[in-house]
Structure 1
């Protein structure tokens, strides 16, 4: 049976990426609202109610409005790519590799909150160490990250690419979220199983796609004072058997002189690294991903497939 999929916000950065990923799928019927009706609430409601799965690629307020437009219609299942519902316990969190049983939770859910790109990297590094009893939940976690500018959507893309834009950004790299109140912090804390709010320092580079997320740790401050090998082992055990999230062997990581944030562009995969010098007492655990792949559109398609009973495409 062909599943009906409606992408509400298909002309945005994430929506366009999802549409491209689904273009060749013959098992799906993609519902597309005429451009002149994109802001017509009644037309949107009709398309939302027709769909087996609606994928919301909208700002937070518009995503909440889309849920209200369903008006009690429980037959349409929803994947929301905004931040509106990511810490709502009534929504399944759409990071399938996060913990045992998460793919089944997503598969059974009517409401799925697609993770943010930065939190996908941070949670992938932090949560396995908390659940392994290695990283105390009250550890003062700091998350440093750089993303391609497409993560900021059409507005930031225009600021970075159009020199005629009055808000043109000429900088090769810039730090933002300077008040330490970034909207992704609650998501990192809740799904990272952290008691303390992490310090999050995001930045943007002059490259379109790609992302590096870093969490530096003092080994002596972790429970049991684990070694670098222990940290790597905990991550490797957590993601054993996964084909989307890969933990790079310590030997391979030690041979790297630099890490390119664009290396996984165009893929839906994520690589995790443990960097440091054995015996030094410090490690830097790092996630590498495409902010539009596993960090957004790729994760949404993965969640859609789980909800449809598909594991891989």
Structure 2
């Protein structure tokens, strides 16, 4: 059976990326709204209710409006906004977050697509918290650099139109960010992380890092302990797009940390760097902010919901 898919907000960065990944699939019929009717509520409502799955690529308030326009009991929803990220009635769309999460997504009517920034933190920390190697109240600092496409059309225009765009620009320096509740909730932290994001002068891709002062812990894990916990965790998850790089305690740098190394794919690679003598470690994650960080994750979730090959339309 051909599934009808409506991307509400298909003209935005995430929507366009999703449409590109779905183009040419014979198991789908893409419903589209004329450009001059995108703000017509009745036209949107008609397509939302005609779809088997609606994918919302909208600001938070518009996403809530779209959900309210669905009057049937059959249309399933993937929402890429932050409107429902910690809502218990919505399944969180990070399939590798837990060994059962893919099944939760597959059986859900409402799926909230994860943010790009939270996935690196959750992927690196949740397994360590569950293994009791890092306590839930540990004072987490979270850093990273992302391509400017993560800021949407306005930021893209600013960077691509500037004669000398900023090469490295920290932001959110009030330390209040819309992703913080999502990070703490799904990483199973009971203390809000200190988050310092950075925009780099490249279109897409991202690298995130979580530094750990292991001497603050009652029981001090080694770098190999941290690596083994992550490797075992993701080895137990079927069809995982998250991989763990080999551990090398003597490694001083890695080309694998290039934020653009996984561009165009749905892959995330976790790295563990540690100095046991100094009792310090860093957990790094590398992935495409438009792939696994947004549109790729949405397509992965769609595949799970439709019961088709989870990798369909996704490069690894």
Q: TM-score, normalised by structure 2?
A: 0.94
Deviations 1:146-177 (A, max 9, x none): 100000010100011113xxxx8731110100
Partner of 1:265: 263
Q: Is the 8 A contact 2:141 2:194 kept in 1?
A: yes
Partner of 1:43: 43
Q: Please give the residue correspondences for 1:89-168 in structure 2 after superposition, counting only pairs within 5 Å.
A: 89-163=88-162
Q: How many residues align?
A: 308
Give the SS at the match of 1:136: coil
Moved more, 23-32 or 248-257: 248-257
Structure 1 residues 202 and 184: CA distance shift in structure 2, 3 A: same
Take 1:112 and 1:29, find their aligned partners in 2: how far apart are those partners? 20
Q: Please give the residue correspondences for 1:138-287 in structure 2 after superposition, counting only pairs within 5 Å.
A: 138-163=137-162, 170-240=165-235, 243-251=240-248, 254=251, 256-258=253-255, 259-287=257-285
Partner of 2:304: 306
Q: TM-score, normalised by structure 1?
A: 0.95
Q: Is the 8 A contact 1:253 1:273 kept in 2?
A: no
Shift of 1:275: 1.1
Take 1:100 and 1:16, find their aligned partners in 2: how far apart are those partners? 30
Q: Please give the residue correspondences for 1:1-12 in structure 2 after superposition, counting only pairs within 5 Å.
A: 1-12=1-12
Give the SS at the match of 1:267: coil
- 1:55 matches 2:80: no
RMSD over aligned CA atoms reads: 1.5
Take 1:222 and 1:15, find their aligned partners in 2: how far apart are those partners? 43
Take 1:268 and 1:224, find their aligned partners in 2: how far apart are those partners? 35
Shift of 1:236: 0.5
Moved over 6 A (4+): none
Q: Is the 8 A contact 1:175 1:201 kept in 2?
A: yes
Deviations 1:87-120 (A, max 9, x none): 1011000000001210000000000000000001
Shift of 1:279: 2.7
Give the SS at the match of 1:285: strand
Take 2:61 and 2:263, find their aligned partners in 1: how far apart are those partners? 29
Take 2:133 and 2:78, find their aligned partners in 1: how far apart are those partners? 33
Take 2:311 and 2:170, find their aligned partners in 1: how far apart are those partners? 37
Structure 1 residues 76 and 47: CA distance shift in structure 2, 3 A: same
